[in-house]
A and B are shown apart, each in its own frame.
Chain A
Amino acid sequence: MIATLTEALAEWLRPPETLSLFRITLLLIFGSLVMYGGEWLTSTLLTRHASVHMGIIGRKVVVYLGGFLLLVSLLLELGFDLTGVLATAGIATVAIGFAAQTSLSNLISGLFLIGERPFEIGDLIKVSGTTGVVLSIDLLSIKLRTLDNLFIRIPNEEMIKSQVTNITRFPIRRMDLDIGVAYKEDPEHVISVLQSLAKANRFVLEEPEALVIFNQFGQSALEFRFCLWFEKSNFLALKNSIMIEIKKRFDAEGIEIPFPHMTLCSGSETGPFPLRILNPEPGEK
């Protein structure tokens, strides 16, 4: 039975057109299998041993290269003469080069970004005033999702030229709060209160220790910088809780947070200018 089938197949493939069609079909099927298999293998290996974005880049390189080789093989099998195409490619390359300067610049910038690895997929970064989570790092651009869920595409050339801040690169961060208190307050007492608040808040890391710095004598207030270390995922929890705790504790201790204000004097020997309201409302003096 097998011999009969083989003979029938050989008879069917005898005409050159049929044979050619059969070879093209085989080329398509096996070529696609090899290409997608190679893509999966490359992506898996690079993701496991390098990083997610290297896996994505590797996958795209295999697909583009494999697709190009498959296309050339199909064209050759179909009988196209590619010599002429190659001859004109040289001239076309110059024209394309001029037209694709920006894309080439983005591509080369992308390769530098891949090599430097200033951030990875999933990192929260700030670039040119935009803050977002890195969704993908592609050959021509990176894609971000902002915290209010907008999609941003930034060309790699711009990334290379700009200052990029990777907010989540390190596992812990410091939150710096600028707090002003009235001039009448005792600075040592304020520092003691803030230090006790840092100790009591469970999101503030015990180490590295929190810092309270008496920064300067401001225009309207004594200005302190309250520096708190936290694990990077606890930003919101710490920000809200510590601000509320500061307010409550300052109210309980009678520590005034002053409004910006100014006192006018005509000279060092005089007191502040008095203020008198003309045509006061009933009840006002």
Chain B
Amino acid sequence: MRNHLQFWTSRTLTEERIALCRIGPLNLWLRRDDQEWGVASERVDSRDLIDFANVPADVVPENLEWSYMGFRKAPHMFQLRPVVPDRPLVVKPARPLTIPRGESTSFCMAFPVWIEVVIGENAVIAIIPTELLSDTWFGNQEEGELAYATGIAAERYLKDIDLMPHYAVCEVETSNTAKDDLQFEKLCLRTQHIALYSGTRHLWSSPVKISYEGKMLTSAVSYDMGPPKGEEGLKLLAAAHRPAERALTRLTFNGSFTHDFKGKQR
């Protein structure tokens, strides 16, 4: 598929054909008859595909588990939309990164998106992860929250990330306004504040800014509402579920763990 954006456009599905949508390791199968839509998925080893095809019914694997949704009159149009994972994401840098006091730096991180299958006007019949992410815990043994580990380390430069078509890239800008140098340990990304945009080769998310202000107390993490600067002409595909205010500090005072950004002073 030449342009990543083409994958996310609306399509028609006739009753005699099956739609096969491939993005990353996810194969999505769709079928329709007069009063129902069916969807099935499987994961394969290949990770860099993104394409769509209408195929005959006899090529569909037999071991697929289909789920069906009934309609009085099944719409014939469908669209795939990218959505953010349903839990926060924990990201660590690829190698130890120290930010001197008074300095700021940026780095990139990537995460696999989920796919929302929308039928007709706005009927969502399935939401499926492109990759199954591992659980992780952001907090301590007594309190915290369940999150996903992306498994993709944050890098200083985008070219160092092995980008796949089902990844969304997030630009993170970090500034150290504290009195000491800062070693970045990990970041908890709140997916409900993130919007998704389509570029030519992969997705982008709205950017994140971190301002580290000092020892243990506050780390302001803010989620921008506009598109990132990494590529021109991005198209908004999914707005943030809950847009965050600009420069909003995400603070919790429940203990020493629940700061979304973890770093230590050197």
Listed in ascending order, the chain A residues whose CB lies under 8 Å from chain B are 170-172, 199, 202-208, 229-231, 234
Bound Cα distance A29, B139 (Å): 54
- The reply to whether A206 and B136 contact each other, CB–CB distance below 8 Å, is yes
Nearest CB in chain A: distance from B236 CB, A: 31
Q: Are A231 and B149 in contact (CB under 8 A)?
A: no
C-alpha spacing A230/B146, complex, angstroms: 10
Question: A residues within 8 A CB of B144?
Answer: 171-172
C-alpha spacing A205/B142, complex, angstroms: 15
Shortest Cβ distance from residue A169 to the other chain B in the assembled complex, whole angstroms: 9
A202 CB contacts on chain B under 8 angstroms: 132-135
Measured between beta carbons, the chain B residues less than 8 angstroms from A207 are: 90, 136-138, 149
Q: Interface centre among B90, B132, B139, B141, by most A CB within 10 Å? A: B141
Residues of A within 8 A of B134 (CB): 199, 202, 204-206
Cα A171 to Cα B144 in complex, Å, equals 8
Residue of B nearest to A201 (CB): B134
**Residues of B126-157 contacting chain A, CB below 8 A:** 132-139, 141-144, 146, 149
B132 touches A205 (CB 8 A): no
Chain A residues with CB below 8 A from B133, complex form: 202
Give the interface centre of B90, B135, B136, B146 by most chain A CB atoms within 10 Å: B135
CA gap between A122 and B90 in the complex, in Å: 30
In the complex, the answer to whether A229 meets B137 with C-beta atoms within 8 Å is: yes
Report which B residues bind A (CB closer than 8 A): 90, 132-139, 141-144, 146, 149
Considering the complex, give the chain A residue whose CB is closest to the CB of B137: A205
Residues of A within 8 A of B142 (CB): 170
Q: How far is the CB of B100 from chain A (nearest CB, A)?
A: 27
A205 touches B135 (CB 8 A): yes
Among A172, A203, A234, the one with the most B-chain Cβ atoms within 10 Å of its Cβ is A172
Count A-B pairs with CB separation below 8 Å.
41
Q: What is the CA–CA distance of A205 and B144 in the complex, to the nearest angstrom?
A: 13
Residue of B90, B136, B143, B149 ringed by the most chain A CB atoms within 10 A = B136
Instruction: Enumerate 25 A-B pairs (CB-CB under 8 Å) in ascending A order.
Output: A170-B141, A170-B142, A170-B143, A171-B137, A171-B139, A171-B143, A171-B144, A171-B146, A172-B144, A199-B134, A202-B132, A202-B133, A202-B134, A202-B135, A204-B135, A205-B135, A206-B90, A206-B134, A206-B136, A206-B149, A207-B137, A207-B138, A207-B149, A208-B137, A229-B137
Residues on A with beta carbons closer than 8 Å to the beta carbon of B136: 205-207
Q: Is the CB of B137 within 8 A of A231?
A: yes
Chain B CB within 10 A, most for which of A199, A207, A229: A207
Give the secondary structure class of A's interface. Answer: loop
Q: In whole Å, how far is B144's beta carbon from the nearest beta carbon of chain A?
A: 7
A202, A205, A231: most-surrounded residue (chain B CB, <10 A): A205
Closest Cβ of chain A to B7, distance in Å, is 26
- Give A32 to B136 CA distance when docked, in angstroms: 53
Closest to A233 in B: B146
In the complex the two chains form, is A231's CB within 8 Å of B146's CB? Answer: yes
Residues of A near B138 (CB, < 8 A) are: 207
Which residue from B90, B132, B141, B149 sits with its C-beta under 8 Å from A172?
A: B141
Chain A min CB distance to B142 (Å): 5
**Nearest Cβ in chain A — how far from B90, in angstroms?**
7
- Chain B residues in 8 Å Cβ range of A170: 141-143
Collect the chain B residues with CB atoms within 8 Å of residue A172's CB.
137, 141, 144
B151 to chain A, nearest CB (A): 8
Closest residue to B186 on the A side, CB-wise? A207
Measured in the bound complex, the distance between the Cα atoms of B133 and A202 in whole Å is 7
Determine the distance from Cα of A205 to Cα of B140 in the docked complex, in whole angstroms.
Answer: 12
User: Which residues from chain A contact B135 at a C-beta distance below 8 Å?
Assistant: 202-206, 230-231, 234
User: Which residue on B lies nearest to A170, using beta carbons?
Assistant: B142
Q: Which residues of chain A have C-beta atoms less than 8 A from B90's C-beta?
A: 206-207
In the complex, A202 Cα to B149 Cα: how many Å?
10
Distance in angstroms between the alpha carbons of A205 and B135 in the assembled complex: 5
The smallest C-beta distance from B13 to any residue of chain A, in angstroms, reads 32
In the assembled complex, which residues on chain A have CB atoms less than 8 Å from the CB atom of B141? 170, 172, 208
CA A234 – CA B138 in complex, angstroms? 17
Q: Which residue of A lies closest to B135 (CB)?
A: A205
Most chain-A Cβ atoms within 10 A of its Cβ — which of B90, B137, B144?
B137
Q: Give the residues in chain B near A229, CB-CB below 8 Å.
A: 137
Contacting residues, chain B, for A231 (C-beta < 8 A): 135, 137, 146
B93 to chain A, nearest CB (A): 15
CB distance from A75 to the nearest CB of B (A): 53
Q: How many angstroms between the C-alpha atoms of A231 and B144 in the bound complex?
A: 11
Nearest 10 A/B pairs, CB to CB: A206-B136, A206-B149, A205-B137, A202-B134, A207-B136, A205-B135, A205-B136, A231-B146, A206-B134, A172-B137
Query: How many whole Å from A206's CB to the nearest CB in chain B?
Result: 4
Q: Which residue of B lies closest to A199 (CB)?
A: B134
* Known A205-B136, A205-B137, A230-B135; 10 more pairs at CB < 8 Å: A170-B141, A170-B142, A170-B143, A171-B143, A172-B144, A206-B136, A207-B90, A207-B136, A207-B137, A231-B137
* Bound-complex Cα distance A2 to B149 (A): 77
Q: Within the assembled complex, what's the spacing in Å between the Cα atoms of A250 and B25?
A: 27
